[in-house]
């Protein structure tokens, strides 16, 4: 096999997250963004340590698993969804197999409890970060998601099917408005231009919506629009946008409109300065009977109904909490801590984002919980100050890359009887499970939860217990 060679083959299976496996002359080739059963053509673009990777050229024959049309016109070119043409049952089956294959690489004799579906297959997301850009060089202003595999090109996703119609109406309104007044978008290469992102959050239970337009402070172009001062023109621009947004016929209610300035060179949504144009800068969401205040930038599970399924499983795996001292490490806005707190003695959450910790504290008092403590900081460091406060059990919900090895050692040193580990990246999870097993923990139960229908992502929950005479 040589770089540049073109082959045709059948996708035997897809490994998490999107690695299609094609066998050519007894050799395994990874062809990304494919579906099991598709006949594809691809060109070899990488051969490293005997592992070949191919770039998909064309799907020659559909897979028998592709039994329906895509719901969204941008499917295929948009980098968001991958599996719209598969029935939801087939998606669940495939993701389940992916998780089991990975866990089986490191674990034996555990109970796999299957794959729990998202209560909503479509329109399930409560948050979107849209980018401004263009679909092709010098094309019209676009607002949406990155084209598959592209760092620059943006596809307008005004009929996105994994958000509800309110998101699409807000996106179209903002895009049309800025197109009409001739605003430019921020070019990542030249670092010139104005519009960067549009953030929309909508609480599934309360219907409250937040809209946040993120721009640079490069506002000179506005002086061509009117004879007034730049500040007056700027105020006029956002007043008109606010009027248009508030006159939209939506199912939910816009409770806040913000304008955020971000002049950072990095392609991340962050705030140098935020102005509340209308209402407030947070929404309320409800999960399993508790209320959560969510601000524009804090982490919150993006599928609220799916989060209820996930957290219910976490609660089941945690088991009896009465009078227990619990650690919720990587606690975000403290959702898990608060769901476990009602009968526990104490729950301590540790989270690196200070804003999320502030929200967690506020949420706990909103929910009348006085036995939750939230500490801002890196788990790796904060854990040293918690040695005197030995927990009875630990819940872990780290970011995608899993747990820092040194932090994992310190967590293991507590020697708790039970650990519940939630992971949004099973490949990182199995790496950490191997270490936990070596150090005396046994994987008892595993359950996968589909928080992200149509996409390649999957959530996994693991319950582990400490084997006797270990640690």
Ligand X SMILES: C[S@@+](CC[C@H](N)C(=O)[O-])C[C@H]1O[C@@H](n2cnc3c(N)ncnc32)[C@H](O)[C@@H]1O
Among 353, 366, 375, 435, binds ligand X (CB under 6 A): 353
Among 350, 359, 386, 394, binds ligand X (CB under 6 A): 350
Q: Name the token pair of 161.
A: 């099917």
Contact 80, 145 (CB under 8 A): yes
Active-site annotation, residues? 424
3-class DSSP assignment, residue 90: helix
Residues in the chain, overall count: 471
Compute the chain's Rg from CA coordinates: 24
Determine, following the binding rule CB under 6 A, whether residue 397 of this chain makes contact with ligand X. Answer: yes
> Which of these segments, 144-152, 180-188, 299-307, 451-459, binds ligand X (CB under 6 A)?
299-307
Determine, following the binding rule CB under 6 A, whether residue 285 of this chain makes contact with ligand X. Answer: no
Instruction: Give 31's contacts (C-beta < 8 A, 6+ positions apart).
Output: 9, 11, 19, 20, 21, 22, 40, 42, 53, 54, 55, 56
Contact 393, 419 (CB under 8 A): yes
Among 304, 331, 348, 455, binds ligand X (CB under 6 A): 331
Instruction: Give 275's contacts (C-beta < 8 A, 6+ positions apart).
Output: 258, 259, 260
CB atoms within 10 A of CB 190: 7
- Closest CB to ligand X: residue number: 332
Q: Alpha-carbon distance 432 to 435, whole Å?
A: 5
Peptide bond before residue 17 is cis, with ω within 30 degrees of 0: yes
Query: At which residue do the structure tokens 């295929």 appear?
Result: 76
- Please identify, using beta-carbon distances, which residue of 164 and 459 lies nearer to ligand X: 459
Q: Name the token pair of 139.
A: 């094309």
Among 301, 304, 338, 363, binds ligand X (CB under 6 A): 301
> Which of these segments, 70-78, 142-150, 165-173, 349-357, binds ligand X (CB under 6 A)?
349-357
Among 162, 209, 336, 357, binds ligand X (CB under 6 A): 336
Q: Alpha-carbon distance 298 to 82, whole Å?
A: 27
- Please identify, using beta-carbon distances, which residue of 40 and 429 lies nearer to ligand X: 429
Determine, following the binding rule CB under 6 A, whether residue 378 of this chain makes contact with ligand X. Answer: yes
CB of 386 to ligand X, least distance (A): 13
- Please identify, using beta-carbon distances, which residue of 153 and 459 lies nearer to ligand X: 459
- Please identify, using beta-carbon distances, which residue of 76 and 399 lies nearer to ligand X: 399
Percentages helix, strand, coil for the chain (3-state, rounded to 5) are 25, 35, 40
Among 225, 246, 274, 352, binds ligand X (CB under 6 A): 352
CB of 25 to ligand X, least distance (A): 41
Binding track over 55-94 against ligand X, x by CB under 6 A: ----------------------------------------
Determine, following the binding rule CB under 6 A, whether residue 330 of this chain makes contact with ligand X. Answer: yes
Determine, following the binding rule CB under 6 A, whether residue 306 of this chain makes contact with ligand X. Answer: no
CB atoms within 10 A of CB 325: 17
Determine, following the binding rule CB under 6 A, whether residue 356 of this chain makes contact with ligand X. Answer: yes
Among 164, 208, 308, 351, binds ligand X (CB under 6 A): 351
Q: State which of positions 399-438 bind ligand X (CB under 6 A).
A: 399, 424
- Please identify, using beta-carbon distances, which residue of 155 and 310 lies nearer to ligand X: 310
CA atoms within 13 A on the CB side of 326: 32
Contact 311, 420 (CB under 8 A): no
Q: Name the token pair of 392.
A: 């009875």
- Please identify, using beta-carbon distances, which residue of 155 and 356 lies nearer to ligand X: 356
CB of 205 to ligand X, least distance (A): 16
CB atoms within 10 A of CB 189: 7
Determine, following the binding rule CB under 6 A, whether residue 459 of this chain makes contact with ligand X. Answer: no
CB of 433 to ligand X, least distance (A): 17
Query: At which residue do the structure tokens 């997301």 appear?
Result: 125
- Please identify, using beta-carbon distances, which residue of 175 and 287 lies nearer to ligand X: 287
Instruction: Give 447's contacts (C-beta < 8 A, 6+ positions apart).
Output: 112, 113, 114, 115, 116, 313, 317, 460, 461
Determine, following the binding rule CB under 6 A, whether residue 355 of this chain makes contact with ligand X. Answer: no
CB of 83 to ligand X, least distance (A): 22
CB of 394 to ligand X, least distance (A): 12
Residues in the site for ligand X, rule: CB under 6 A? Answer: 299-301, 330-333, 335-336, 350-353, 356, 378-379, 397-399, 424
């Amino acid at each position: 096999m040589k770089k540049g060679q073109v082959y045709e083959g059948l996708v035997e299976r897809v490994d998490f997250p999107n690695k299609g496996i094609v066998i050519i002359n007894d050799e395994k080739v990874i062809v990304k963004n494919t579906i099991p059963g598709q006949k594809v053509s691809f060109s070899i673009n990488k051969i490293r340590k005997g592992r070949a990777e191919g770039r998909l050229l064309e799907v020659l024959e559909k897979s028998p698993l592709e039994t329906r049309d895509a719901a969204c016109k941008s499917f295929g070119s948009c980098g968001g969804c991958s599996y719209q043409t598969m029935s939801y049952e087939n998606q669940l089956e495939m993701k389940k197999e992916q998780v089991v294959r990975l866990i089986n690489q490191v674990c034996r004799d555990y109970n796999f409890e299957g794959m729990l579906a998202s209560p909503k297959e479509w329109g399930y997301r409560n948050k979107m970060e849209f980018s401004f850009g263009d679909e092709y060089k010098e094309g019209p202003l676009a607002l949406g998601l990155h084209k598959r595999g592209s760092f620059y090109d943006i596809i307008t996703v005004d009929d996105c099917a994994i958000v509800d119609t309110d998101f699409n109406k807000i996106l179209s309104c903002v895009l049309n408005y800025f197109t009409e007044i001739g605003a430019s978008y921020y070019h990542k290469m030249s670092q010139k231009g104005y519009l960067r992102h549009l953030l929309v959050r909508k609480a599934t239970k309360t219907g409250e919506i937040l809209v946040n337009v993120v721009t640079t402070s490069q506002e000179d172009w506005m002086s061509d629009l009117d004879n007034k001062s730049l500040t007056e023109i700027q105020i006029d621009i956002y007043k008109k946008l606010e009027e248009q947004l508030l006159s939209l016929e939506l199912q939910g209610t816009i409770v806040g409109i913000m304008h955020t300035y971000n002049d950072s060179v990095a392609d991340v949504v962050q705030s140098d300065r935020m102005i509340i144009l209308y209402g407030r800068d947070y929404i309320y969401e409800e999960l399993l009977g508790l209320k959560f205040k969510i601000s524009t930038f804090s982490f919150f599970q993006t599928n609220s109904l799916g989060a209820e399924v996930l957290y219910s499983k976490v609660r089941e795996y945690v088991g009896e909490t009465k009078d227990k001292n619990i650690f919720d490490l990587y606690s975000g806005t403290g959702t898990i801590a608060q769901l476990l707190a009602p009968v526990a003695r104490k729950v301590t959450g540790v989270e690196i984002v200070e804003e999320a910790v502030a929200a967690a504290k506020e949420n706990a008092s909103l929910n009348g919980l006085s036995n939750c403590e939230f500490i801002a900081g890196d788990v790796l460091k904060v854990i040293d100050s918690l040695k005197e406060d030995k927990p009875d059990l630990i819940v872990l919900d780290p970011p995608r890359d899993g747990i820092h090895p040194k932090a994992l050692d310190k967590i293991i040193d507590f020697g708790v009887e039970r650990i519940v580990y939630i992971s949004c990246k099973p490949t990182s999870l199995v790496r950490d499970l191997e270490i936990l097993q070596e150090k005396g923990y046994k994987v008892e139960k595993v359950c996968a939860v589909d928080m992200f229908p149509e996409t390649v992502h999957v959530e996994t929950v693991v319950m582990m217990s400490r084997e006797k005479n270990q640690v």
